[in-house]
Structure 1
Amino acid sequence: MSEKGITMEEPANNADDGTEKFSLVEDTTTSLDENVSITVTKLPFKLKWKIDFMIMPFFIAIYFLQFLDKSLLNYAAIMGIKKNLHGNQFANLGTIFYVGFVATEPIAAYLIQKLPVAKFLGVNICCWGAVVAFHACTETYAGLMIVRVLLGIFEASVACCLIIIMERTSSTK
């Protein structure tokens, strides 16, 4: 092509011309067995650190809120919830959370494998936050039991999802 005396040529894409193509992500295939091979994506070191510094504050905040959530019932006890409960009801409220948590973990582990992890985590965190807010709306023991079970259900997958996401970003060497 020639315009006003300037000639422009398109460079040839030959692998043997000695030029290297810049790639942000490098894929390498590792063979575990004759029938199984895994493609591993390698990220540059600086990019991995940027990703970690952007994601980690969210992970820390989520873990911190989960810690506060587990002690939410104890804060309610200080505020006077025990005077409305009788017998073992306060202990049952603490226990039923873990019943929902343990019962849901296998289901959550299955869903983590079948669904996109980030979207599944986002839905669980939104539902978990709504259930925490619903604690303020409950007026009966039965309502508190339902809210505590739902809290355990939605919290069961959060830690696993965070670990999987962090492992996926960090394991690429």
Structure 2
Amino acid sequence: MKNVLTLTLLMCAMVFSAEMAAQEFSGMDKSPMDMASYPSDYKISDKAVRVIYSRPQLKGRDVADLAPAGKVWRTGANEAAEITFYKGATIGGKNIEAGTYSLFTIPGENEWTIVLNKNLNQWGSYFYQDSGDVARVQAKVSKGDESLDAFSMTFQEVDGGVHLVMGWGTERVAVPITFVM
């Protein structure tokens, strides 16, 4: 009887293990999610700002085709990027309260319009409403030495604050941010 019980338990374990191993995964996202924060040191838990976004790849295409000039862009791929200010800040000269905002951009040849919007959890920019805008600021476009295939964001420390730097292809856009102490 003891052997029958042991055999039964063993067979049940094998059946459930096979079912778990047979689960299908949808594969890697072609535009994986990423995050940038300031300070970027993972040992510092007192962050001032964090941005979460997805990283589309150029794969031989033009930035202008994927983020057309003059049109609201979700600033990445998939869901609209979201930026969280953990303390009050000034971005491009406009005061921003601590909180989380959707981050949209309107690319241009010489400058991009940076848009902070209070409506969260938006897929792309398909349902973007300018009535939710909290701030719009201009940021100059410059050219980088290397071409980035994956859209990327980082924070770069500068005198008096940081720049949120966005890069794709050879385009670079730096958005000045200072924090309210």
Q: TM-score, normalised by structure 1?
A: 0.25
Higher relative contact order (CA 8 A, sep 6+): 1
Higher gyration radius (CA): 1
Question: TM-score, normalised to structure 2's length?
Answer: 0.25
Which structure has the highest strand share of the two? 2
More helix by share: 1
